[in-house]
Amino acid sequence: MGFRFQKRFSLSKLIRLNVSKSGVSVSLGVRGADINIRGDKVTGNIGIPNTGLSYRKRLDTPYVESVEQAKIVPMQTEQKSSSLGTIFLVILILGFVFFLGYWAAK
């Protein structure tokens, strides 16, 4: 069993700086829904506070990578649609996060 280190600093109501043994990341969002940005990784998190139930998905990995791992040559249209889908999902999650922040501030 190894040692772990993690510390979070709130920069504002919606922005947190996360420092751990493996590096630094930034989280944008409110309790229950946020987006974490760390180097070349972007992860979306949605959960129900105080329940332990949550869903996490890496948002910067296009569908094409999993297809390439299966040794199937993707079509050019699949690459564009998966990238657009990822962008749409990121925009949707950001909208939800800021809506929750606006609603929680009232």
Kindly state the helix (H) or strand (E) to which residue 6 belongs, with its residue range.
Answer: strand 6-10
pTM: 0.54
Can you tell me the distance from the alpha carbon of 31 to that of 101, in angstroms, rounded to the nearest whole number? 9
Q: What is the residue-wise DSSP string for 8-73?
A: EEESSSSEEEEEETTEEEEEEEETTEEEEEETTEEEEEEEETTTTEEEEEESSS-HHHHHHHTT--
Task: List, run by run, the mean pLDDT of 10-residue segments along the chain (106 residues).
Answer: 84 90 89 87 88 88 58 52 66 75 70
